[in-house]
Structure 1
């Protein structure tokens, strides 16, 4: 941990703090003290941007009964939550009842009355894919040939992300409900990792969430009934569905695009940084994005059919 962070308010440690491996963006530790067990997360530069606002949003969600770890404290470098035990959610279609409850939870989150600072809008997607492909080839990256063969597709994806019309409304929401950010406790959802919270077009949040828990690692095992269960739960929770269209999937594509580029840059740097995932995990994430994004983009008509 960084020396700037004083964790004494969490109590007297009963054993050394241990690293919990597997995070795609941040580094997590478990700290057991005489006051309980805590998840201590080291934040990357991205996670630090709105840490105070995220913490305030989390506190409001927890107070409203959203199933999530209790937020304990936040600083410039760390977020601390009560440790929650539960089963990991595999990257596979979840049970229909679980998906339905996720939809209900989203409706409750979107109904919270929490202010959010202005200036949260994202700028245009970077268009430096030709340069990245050249650098990947020059540095001998294992996925350099694949990236080079997909440059035109990545530029087309970038254009789609920048130009796709979002119908609204815009809501304050979690923005990253994926299997790896969920636990199952007694078969019911527990929502983790709120660092990417912010304003988002409702269709993008619903599409990303429903698709992520209705499929396996690729796009050949999507369960339409599970996708619809999320939307049914959202309506049952008091939410209203936005119009159908490609906007339901543009946020997921754009987020994956940015995440892939971030990991490519880490790989091109070729050094282990003090925060974020290990270099080997960045290599895996870069390769998965280079292979998976063109596949997802090519399947947009199939994905839109889920909304019929």
Structure 2
């Protein structure tokens, strides 16, 4: 792939050197040196103009986030691609104290744009799909799914009920977890805005808080939870409450499990990822669902 074709398509400065693969998780990324500095290139599996529009609003609200460059465009051999200025940062470490930053960022983010009623549909969780996968070709995870299908359906219903019980619907990032926060010399930066859309402010806040409170820990840290929520309410947010406040975390787990099942069955490309590892992870996640949901219900008390 000729780098100059990429830079021309995206409206970037001329390239210096070759395209270098970086990561492949939900989408593939590369780095490229240009005459104006290093850029991050990202393949977007879906064209989501509404997500890009909200990303611009969040930037106008001074949320710390990557700087987009050029314009999105279809690149031969990649597909829809976006470019961002390279962030000189690192993952959140065990000693990084970002709890107050996270609470303030969530509150400012949730004040940008209200949304129509949000539900868990974007997790692509539907009862009939779990049944379809169970009765598809036999895979290494099929016995586990057969055993724990009632647990998965109960967890799916719990997620749906948690969203049905909320009224705090906003347009937001929708993927605020530790792996989407980078620490730079200027402070933390929230990356990966491709999934932006309608969600529950309270459920997202509880989920993001849980993600930080369990970082490098066996269980959630109450002091971290308190610090995030205190900063959230101090900046105008409403403190999340109720036994279902961590149901969104179960929804994310189920959504990622569903993605692995689709990859295993050839319904979705796995990219360069090892299919054996994907299937082993899927089986482990299926077997973990009962204990995982029980813990999330129990941890809700830490938020009171």
Task: Report TM bin, short chain.
Answer: 0.7 to 0.9
Q: In 2, are the aligned partners of 1:168 and 1:203 still within 8 Å (CA)?
A: no
Runs of 4+ in 1 over 6 A off after TM superposition: none
**2:167 alignment partner in structure 1:** 168
**2:206 alignment partner in structure 1:** 207
Q: Deviations 1:253-287 (Å, cap 9, x if unpaired)?
A: 1222122112211112188556x966466446534
**1:109 alignment partner in structure 2:** 109
| Offset at residue 289 of structure 1 (A) | 3.1
**2:256 alignment partner in structure 1:** 259
Match of 1:301 among 280, 283, 297: 297
Match of 2:145 among 144, 147, 154: 147
Determine the C-alpha separation between the residues in 1 that align with 2:206 and 2:95: 15
* Structure 1: 5+ residue stretches without partners: none
Determine the C-alpha separation between the residues in 1 that align with 2:117 and 2:238: 26
What does residue range 1-308 of structure 1 map to in structure 2 within 5 Å? 6-8=6-8, 9-21=11-23, 23-45=24-46, 48=47, 50=48, 52-72=49-69, 73-75=71-73, 77-89=80-92, 95=96, 97-112=97-112, 114=113, 122-123=120-121, 125-127=125-127, 128-135=129-136, 138-139=138-139, 141=140, 143-164=141-162, 165-186=164-185, 188-216=187-215, 220-242=218-240, 244-269=241-266, 272=269, 279=275, 282-283=278-279, 286-287=282-283, 289-308=285-304
Q: Deviations 1:76-127 (Å, cap 9, x if unpaired)?
A: 612221110111125xx664x4011111011111222x587x7975548311
The change in CA–CA distance for 1:202 and 1:155 in structure 2 (over 3 A counts) is: same
Normalised to the residue count of structure 2, the TM-score between the two structures is 0.83
Larger mean Cα displacement after TM superposition, 70-79 or 221-230: 70-79
Determine the C-alpha separation between the residues in 2 that align with 1:305 and 1:119: 26
The change in CA–CA distance for 1:227 and 1:287 in structure 2 (over 3 A counts) is: farther
Q: In 1, are the aligned partners of 2:99 and 2:224 still within 8 Å (CA)?
A: yes
Q: In 1, are the aligned partners of 2:91 and 2:182 still within 8 Å (CA)?
A: yes
Normalised to the residue count of structure 1, the TM-score between the two structures is 0.82
Determine the C-alpha separation between the residues in 2 that align with 1:78 and 1:281: 28
Q: In 2, are the aligned partners of 1:272 and 1:278 still within 8 Å (CA)?
A: no
Q: Deviations 1:46-73 (Å, cap 9, x if unpaired)?
A: xx2x2x2222222222233211111223
Q: In 2, are the aligned partners of 1:110 and 1:171 still within 8 Å (CA)?
A: yes
SS at match of 1:246: coil
Q: In 2, are the aligned partners of 1:30 and 1:37 still within 8 Å (CA)?
A: yes
* Structure 2: 5+ residue stretches without partners: 75-79
SS at match of 2:264: helix
The change in CA–CA distance for 1:281 and 1:33 in structure 2 (over 3 A counts) is: farther
